[in-house]
Structure 1
């Protein structure tokens, strides 16, 4: 490569010399009188060409080094190639102690690669994984780009979210400094993000972008996560005390449960009943099951006649039992007061609903 660069430099030098000799003699005389002798003039041209060659060599070398660094990074990268998870061992043996799990969509760095096993690091997890359950090189990078996510972190106060990637476009709203947003697409000077139900555009000048891949878990991390989940579940299922109700209230609540969650799991059915009973307990809502259910604009099936029609047709026993359990104080969603179809709303998700 250096030889080619020097050849190009010599060609430039020859052209420069030819231009000097071909130029008008009067112009050369003026240049000589105002600057230096002809020999020095040609020497200066040579120095400029040599400087260009050095600059070109340096720039080319930088690009080569960048490419080498990127290639090395790709060669050290690994992704899990499993449907669920794969065991990570303390040593390169199936009989060795299990130190953690590498899940589907998780990635990491190669610490040592062997014929049958590879030592990896994924987050805090360090250990050996069978090569059969890993992707390497370009395969790993391709999969990472498919399942990974790029996060934009806002680095300025009140960043405008535009309706189009243009300074002249309308504004949906403002983003706070340090807020994080998943990137949908990167454009020239703009980043597309999800903003509510819209696609918004923010200037790439005012955000930092970072690509994330899920990481594995050590056995200690798994145990701690399961402990916290158990505490959260206990909180969500703590009996909140019985709600005053007649048999008619039980049937009414069961009919609403059938209309709202008839195709959901039993926990999902109890959750709908619990929301109604939680409202009865709350000072923000009426203090009876009937009044809560028939409050204007609250439960669509109650307002459009479907609840009454279900009562007339009869309610199945599972919905009846879910209503009795909810009235007795059982809950699967703590003291949640609302629910809707699962989507962007944050809360406790059970089946097709999110409770909050």
Structure 2
């Protein structure tokens, strides 16, 4: 009986050795395949060789673990392990097959992220959002490069999607730490098997991957259908914004017209225009009077108004109040040089003339009250060249000629 037990132990030991050897022989062919697969575009040859030797050394240790324990212990990785980030500007085309002649199924914008499923020659199969297809490996970055680029874009978040999620201090779930309610958000810092490592106070905790939603700061790719939907949505938003702008402008114009009408009514002068002028033009005339002679006596304001109206009647000038006032290099600082109000004068138009006298002068001048005859110009008395004027009159600080 003792001999039989010894024989059985020996037989069991031989079986274990044979099994371990078989596992080794079974796994050995995997090593070259792993070594060939590059994880960064145009990786230097020396780096590839070093990586191959490292994988082989690691492989030997792992096989020993398999023989001794029957499994390979999973290592914790960063959140960008197995991920790829698009680096082409402005976007990377995604093809249905590893062939540029195949159908384009979508796009990955620069800095968008994808799961790198496999590398096929010069192509990488990716899954990004709802987009699955092939991308040129040269237009992606992986591993440490992806980690560095992704970190510069922002944190990776893990949001609890289950009713509640258990938190563990270790990935093997041997030490429970706490429970997190639905919607609780953590900063995700690593992956290990079925667990996600998250920041937990001053330390780290682990949560089941299927109980959280992972969101990278980098965006995802879009299918052709999604791209069309985005374009349509952007176009609709643009249309609505333009419509809202037009409506706001219309309301502002109505309010402005009502304000001008009320101001003209409040002036209390008899208004019987001798030339056609809209309420907006009356306002414009009052504002340019304020601009040029705001602190002049009333007679000076009336004189400036008549300079404008005399020009409208003179064939050498534009035949409208607006055209005369916005003519290039005529009323200093009023025009932008292209027939529109300058930004500073527009502010005056929006605020209105600072005194009611300006509006009174505009309305009286339009009603035919003229105190300068046919003069079409004026200048400050301090810079006037009287010898150049055949006739002139001085009112306040201006000479009219």
Asked whether the two chains share a fold, i.e. TM above 0.5, the reply is no
TM-score (norm 1): 0.38
Structure label with greater radius of gyration:
2
